[in-house]
Amino acid sequence: MAGLALIARAAGHRVTGCDANVYPPMSTQLAAAGIDLIEGFGEEQLGLAPDLWVVGNVVKRGTPLMEAILDARQPYVSGPQWLAEHVLAGKRVMAVAGTHGKTTTSSMLAWILEAAGKAPGFLIGGVPENFGQSARLTDADWFVIEADEYDTAFFDKRSKFVHYRPQVAVLNNLEFDHADIFADLAAIETQFHHLVRTVPRSGRLIVNAASEALERVLARGAWTPVERFGRGGRWTVASPSAGGFVAQRDGEPVASVRWSLAGEHNRLNAVAAMAAAVEAGVAPSAAAAALERFGGVKRRMQLRGVVRGVSVHDDFAHHPSAIETTVAGLREQVGEARILAVLEPRSNTMKLGAMNAALPASLAVADRIFCYSGSLPWDAAAVFQPLGERACVESDFNRLVEAVVADARPGDHILVMSNGGFNAIHERLLERLAGSP
């Protein structure tokens, strides 16, 4: 929604917005764009008298402002529908979907197109360091969008990505997630097939070859040429290391990438973005050169600071598979150095306990595990019991911070994982490591 607000502002509209809780990096970039933010959903905001209310999917019936909008019979629309009708119409859309890696792959793809001189518009659920903003509107044909499978709005329960009508769709992977709105994996597969149905025969599907769930989606019907990436696909990774990799197409090297990003997930994200960029006329070698200058995404393995030899990293991982690949990527990067993993299970799926059985294994390669259980309805100590003394569960935020700081020593890497603001724990850890009260 922050990205939509930026795009609407760039299109010439006056824009205001409200949310229950606003925090960086989105809050800061909205403020920098001159977009007024209002905390909360009070019905007094009806007095703003906008021409149109654009409603995000966090808004539910019973929300005071939404009830007032309905009573007043004022015009409203979902964010994805507004975007489709007012921005994407006439654009050549590249949509990146999947349970994991959407933000990073979208950012890579947008940057590759930018470096190739195509000046794409984009809407991404994070802030790419190369752009410094999560959304941009341009006059160019191409538009890159992070295509989320979460539902559209309280009045439209389809996945958001069915609105986008892409020319090229990247399907990164598919696992069970969003237990608050999907009963099982099959229900999510149905939504992904709705997306597949919207891609024209002149377009392209870029699909992770290792995903059995995505193969089931395609088996329901695909009317668009498919290119697969990853093991067994047309696009593959060779000679992987913490310093880079070689991209192959049909078993032949097409480009070499030297970079500082670690982890197999990032290498797969990169070849998927490269394959999509080729559909826009970008040579693999040009895509590789752009990837070598890719600055990453805020809150995706972002180094927030180093104090007394202790590094503090920030990552958005909140699903066991993402947690596992994130920790593995850091391990590849830091070798034998100790990793202190700090987790806030904050997503709706996590709070429901749907992923509890997979959590201990997802953190297995970390040396120490700290879990913040402050708002969890389930017994986190019991869930992390298989990790023994390596795990520390704390319901008090301040005590959690002190426990991490007391354990840390020079050379350690503290990896914070949460899909929320986590009480600005990164700054707090850096302050305490520096000796501030």
Give the pLDDT of residue 215. 98
CA distance 314 to 426: 7
Give the pLDDT of residue 231. 92
Please indicate, yes or no, whether residues 280 and 309 belong to a single structural domain of this protein: no
Q: What are the tokens at 366?
A: 């970390």
Give the pLDDT of residue 26. 75
Instruction: Give me the mean pLDDT over the 322-335 stretch.
Output: 91
- If pLDDT is split at 50, 70 and 90, which confidence band does 349 have? confident
Please indicate, yes or no, whether residues 258 and 159 belong to a single structural domain of this protein: yes
Please indicate, yes or no, whether residues 166 and 274 belong to a single structural domain of this protein: yes
Give the best-scoring range by mean pLDDT among 117-121, 295-299, 346-350.
Answer: 117-121
- The yes-or-no verdict on residue 23 having pLDDT over 80 is no
**Each residue of 232-290: pLDDT tens digit?**
999 999 999 878 999 999 999 999 999 988 889 999 999 999 999 999 999 999 999 99
- If pLDDT is split at 50, 70 and 90, which confidence band does 318 have? confident
Residue 8 lies in a domain: yes
**Each residue of 240-253: pLDDT tens digit?**
987 899 999 999 99
Residue 7: which of 63, 91, 75 has the closest Cα?
91
Bridge pairing between strands 168-171 and 92-97: parallel
Residue 83 lies in a domain: no
Strand partners, 205: 169, 226
- If pLDDT is split at 50, 70 and 90, which confidence band does 317 have? confident
Instruction: Give me the mean pLDDT over the 320-349 stretch.
Output: 92
Give the pLDDT of residue 96. 98
For 136, residues 6+ apart whose C-beta sits below 8 A from its C-beta are: 6, 7, 10, 120, 121, 122
CATH number for position 321: 3.90.190.20
Please indicate, yes or no, whether residues 37 and 176 belong to a single structural domain of this protein: no
Give the pLDDT of residue 281. 98
Residue 297 lies in a domain: no
Please indicate, yes or no, whether residues 360 and 260 belong to a single structural domain of this protein: no
Bridge pairing between strands 121-123 and 135-136: antiparallel
Instruction: Give me the mean pLDDT over the 27-36 stretch.
Output: 88
Residue 283 lies in a domain: yes
Among the three residues 259, 291, 323, which one is the final residue of a domain in this structure? 291
**Each residue of 354-405: pLDDT tens digit?**
889 999 999 999 999 999 999 899 999 999 999 999 999 999 999 999 999 9
Give the chain's domain count: 3
- If pLDDT is split at 50, 70 and 90, which confidence band does 45 have? very high
Please indicate, yes or no, whether residues 162 and 275 belong to a single structural domain of this protein: yes
8 Å CB contact between 115 and 289? yes
Give the pLDDT of residue 241. 86
Please indicate, yes or no, whether residues 329 and 213 belong to a single structural domain of this protein: no
- The yes-or-no verdict on residue 437 having pLDDT over 80 is no
Name the residue range of residue 400's domain: 302-433
Please indicate, yes or no, whether residues 375 and 284 belong to a single structural domain of this protein: no
- If pLDDT is split at 50, 70 and 90, which confidence band does 42 have? very high
CA distance 195 to 193: 5
Provide the whole-model pTM.
0.88
At 80, phi and psi to the nearest 5? -60, -40
Instruction: Give me the mean pLDDT over the 190-207 stretch.
Output: 98
**Each residue of 64-119: pLDDT tens digit?**
999 999 999 999 999 999 999 999 998 999 999 999 999 999 999 999 999 999 99
Please indicate, yes or no, whether residues 262 and 164 belong to a single structural domain of this protein: yes
246 C-beta neighbours (distance < 10 Å), count: 16
CA distance 183 to 189: 11
Mean pLDDT of the chain: 94
Please indicate, yes or no, whether residues 323 and 420 belong to a single structural domain of this protein: yes
Phi-psi region of 388 (alpha: psi -120 to 50; beta: other; left: phi over 0): left
Please indicate, yes or no, whether residues 103 and 218 belong to a single structural domain of this protein: yes
CATH number for position 10: 3.40.50.720
- If pLDDT is split at 50, 70 and 90, which confidence band does 413 have? very high
